[in-house]
Amino acid sequence: MKNHFLPIFLLSFLISCSTTTKTNTAKTMDIYGPGVIHRPILADLEVSPIKIVGTATAAAGSSIDAVKQIAVSNALKTVRADVLVEPIFETLLEGKRITATVAGFPATYKGFRPVKQEDIEILKVGNLNTAKVYEPAAVSTKKRR
């Protein structure tokens, strides 16, 4: 009987030391396109006057845009907000790591409602007022030896 105890003990020890990996998936679909008809919905955006900051670090082979999105996600999680208004990014490529830092105003969606006739003028103005974004080219700062 003792001969069976050792293999069962080792097997249970190996099983208990296994690692677990958690992943999340989401399916999305654009609502703008041929064959898709939807009723427009408006929502109020409640913007906080207090800036928040989020950071993310990844291996140098990662996409800078992906690291920026993770930084935004990390910032929004801290205050349970829906969107970051006027985000300002700072990225740093150092050795084998990319670090992205973002600062902006957290906001949450409130008061969802169908579009009314009186909202149409506001929607037209909103489509005309788009911000122009300037992103300078990456600057390399190599240390001289």
Q: Give the pLDDT confidence of 20-41 residue by residue, as tens digits.
A: 566 666 666 666 667 677 778 8
Model confidence pLDDT, tens digit, residues 58-99? 998 888 899 999 999 999 999 999 999 999 999 999 889 999
Q: pTM for this one?
A: 0.63
Chain segment 94-120, per-residue pLDDT in tens: 889 999 999 999 999 999 999 888 888
* Distant-in-sequence contacts of 108-113, Cβ < 8 A, 24+ apart: 108/45, 108/46, 108/80, 108/81, 108/82, 108/83, 109/43, 109/44, 109/45, 109/46, 109/82, 109/83, 110/43, 110/44, 110/45, 110/46, 111/43, 111/44, 112/41, 112/42, 112/43, 113/41, 113/42, 113/43
